[in-house]
Amino acid sequence: MKHKLIVSWCAIALFALTAGKAWGQNEASKDFRDAVEQSSKSARVFTEIMGAPDREIPKDILDDSECVMVFPEVIKAGFIIGGRGGRGVGSCRTATGWSGPAFFNLGGGSIGLQIGAQSTDFVLLIMNQEGMDKLLGDQFEIGGDASAAAGPVGRQAGASTNIRLDAQILSYSRSKGLFAGLELKGVVIKPDSDNLEAVYGKDADVKSVLHGGKPNVSVHAFSDTLARYSPRKAGD
C-alpha cells in the first residue's frame, strides 16, 4: 500500500511539473504572438496616418525625431471618473537604422464628465536626448517626468520651430478618422516585460532593445515601416 502511495505521489508530481512547463510555454507563446500583433497593428496605424493627405505628420518633424511610439486602439472609458488603457511599441534610431521595437503599456486617469467608451490611436515622437532618457527608464509620466506638446500636422510644420526646440515629446491622436496634435498629461508609460521577454529573451530590457541589440525579424514590421518614411540613422 505504501509503495502504491509513493508511486501515486510521484505520478502527481510529474504531471504537475509537465503541466506547469507546458503552461509556461503556452504563456510565452501567447506573449510572442501578441508582440507580433502589436508590431503589425502599430505599423498599419502609422502607415494610415502618414498616408492621409495634408493631415500626416510633417516629414521634417518626423526626420528630427529620435524615437517613435504608437499605441493603437487605446480605450478611454468611464462614468465621471475614467481612465486610459492600451499597449503599443516604440523604436529608436541607431547607427544602423531603426531599432527593433520595444513593447510598452500605457495607462492614466482622468476626472471629468464622461460617459461611454472611445478607442483612440496615439503617436508619440521623442524629439531629443532628454526624452530618450525618460523612455529608457522604468516608467515615465507625460507632462510630469517628460515635457510634451501637441505635434503639428500637415502644413503646420513651418510654424512649429519653438515647439520642436522646447518639447521632449510631440503627441498626436487619431479618433474616428480625425488625426491631430494632442497635449497629453498624466499618461504613464511602462515597459511590457512579458512581451519583451517573449521576443528578446529573459535578460532583455528596453535599453538593450532600443539601442539596437538582440534583433528579431518576427516583429520588425513596425521598424521597417518607420524606415520607409524616415530612413535617417542616428548621427546623420
Please give the pLDDT value at position 29. 87
What 3-state DSSP class applies to 32?
helix
Cα–Cα distance measured from residue 58 to residue 81, given in angstroms and rounded to the nearest whole number: 35
- Decide: 103 and 38 in contact? Cβ < 8 Å: yes
Interior/surface letters 206-235, b for 16+ CB within 10 angstroms, e for the rest: bebbbbbeeebeebbbbbebbbebbeeeee
- Decide: 169 and 163 in contact? Cβ < 8 Å: no
Please give the pLDDT value at position 70. 97
Q: What is the pLDDT along the chain (236 residues), one digit of tens a residue?
A: 444 444 444 444 343 343 343 334 444 689 999 999 999 999 999 999 999 888 899 999 999 999 999 999 887 755 445 556 789 999 999 999 999 999 999 987 654 544 455 788 999 999 998 899 988 888 888 877 788 888 999 876 555 555 555 789 999 999 888 898 888 888 889 999 999 999 999 888 999 999 986 568 889 999 999 999 999 999 88
Cα–Cα distance measured from residue 87 to residue 107, given in angstroms and rounded to the nearest whole number: 9
Please give the pLDDT value at position 56. 92
